[in-house]
Amino acid sequence: MASRYHKEARPMSLKLLLLVAGAGAVGSTLRYLVNLAFLRRGTWELPYATLTVNVLGCFLAGIFYALFADKLHRHAAYAPVLLVGFLGAFTTFSTFALESANLMQAGAPWKALLNIGLQNLSGLAAVCCGLWLVRQFCH
């Protein structure tokens, strides 16, 4: 989250803290549901559920950031609700790191490197797409 939000944000309130916690509950629940959806489809060579939530989370991070930076200045104090609460619980960096390490330890270093590359490059591309989308169509 950009430092601009820390400067503009009001002091932390109980209301904001509860909104961040609630958004975290929603994000973690959605993450779990995505994981279940992939598990029901069968075993995968790569951890596609984690890739999906990380790329979608990066895309949403770009959208939310651009909206607060460009359109919703008056509501910037609530950026942590979406960027920290919801996306912090929805995206899965620690899971990504653990799955990559497990692939390496299972004797699949090329799959681990593919996973690391896909997660990072597609995540960065998704953030850029989210930023671009808002800035192109929300003027």
Q: Which of 20-24, 40-44, 73-77 comes out lowest in average pLDDT?
A: 40-44
Predicted pLDDT of residue 131: 95
88 is in an annotated binding site: yes
Overall pTM > 0.75: yes
Calculate ∠ Cα 102-104-99, nearest 5°.
30
95 is in an annotated binding site: no
Asked if residue 10 has pLDDT above 70, the reply is: no
Predicted pLDDT of residue 45: 78
Q: How far apart are CA 60 and CA 90, in angstroms?
A: 11
Q: How far apart are CA 98 and CA 111, in angstroms?
A: 13
Residue 11 backbone zone (phi > 0: left; psi -120 to 50: alpha; other: beta): beta
